[in-house]
């Protein structure tokens, strides 16, 4: 996987378009300036969390005794489930109640941006090709920058394209993510089977 492919994968996994309605519903009670400040803070926290897994993920995997095929299969399964929810969103729980206090870290930074699938993808990239860590850093930074731009402009996007067009875009990215999840599963299972045959 090259820089552009990794960046696109991470952008789709972070799903900034799908997160717009959630950010909008949680932050709509606040003035525009405060809303932008909160989004910026949560984006920064999410970036730092993903950076921690990018540079410390290999150590965590070794400590837990995890190997790349297991991580690939787990990541593929998580991605597939998330993609199915993007394509077939649940109707229950659409209405969200206002929070008594400002959201901090949970749920906006984690898990909406730096969720399990994003963390698994970062760990997978590093475990497959650790020598390209600076490429993965660039890909993560590109994906985060694109997600930040979309989420910071979420108010304008909601006004311009409307909720129906936004849902259509989310389902389209969900279809792309399903294909990527299946490919990740197939690649990881192939590595696992090859290891069994060579043993």
pLDDT digit string, tens, across residues 117-160: 788 889 888 888 889 999 999 999 999 999 999 999 988 877 77
- pLDDT confidence of residue 93: 41
Domain definitions of the chain by residue range: 3-192
| CA–CA gap between residue 14 and residue 119 (Å, rounded) | 10
Contacting residues for 160 by C-beta, under 8 A, at least 6 apart: none
- Its pTM stands at 0.71
Q: What percent of the residues of the chain are helix, what percent strand, and what percent coil, each to the nearest 5? A: 80, 0, 15
Tokens in use for 17?
């378009």
């Amino acid at each position: 996987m090259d820089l552009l492919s990794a960046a696109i994968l991470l952008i789709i996994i972070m799903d900034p378009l799908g997160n717009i309605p959630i950010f909008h519903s949680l932050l709509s009670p606040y003035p525009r300036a405060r809303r932008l400040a909160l989004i910026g803070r949560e984006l920064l926290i999410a970036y730092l969390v993903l950076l921690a897994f990018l540079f410390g993920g290999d150590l965590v995997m070794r400590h837990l005794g995890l190997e790349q095929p297991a991580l690939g299969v787990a990541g593929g399964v998580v991605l597939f489930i998330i993609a199915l929810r993007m394509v077939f969103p649940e109707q229950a729980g659409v209405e969200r109640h206002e929070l008594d206090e400002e959201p901090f870290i949970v749920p906006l930074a984690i898990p909406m941006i730096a969720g399990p699938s994003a963390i698994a993808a970062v760990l997978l990239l590093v475990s497959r090709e650790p020598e390209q860590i600076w490429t993965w850093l660039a890909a993560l930074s590109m994906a985060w920058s694109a997600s930040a731009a979309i989420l910071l402009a979420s108010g304008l996007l909601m006004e311009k394209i409307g909720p129906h067009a936004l849902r259509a875009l989310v389902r389209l990215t969900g279809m792309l993510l399903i294909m990527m999840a299946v490919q990740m599963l197939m690649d990881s299972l192939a590595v696992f089977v090859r290891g069994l045959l060579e043993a």
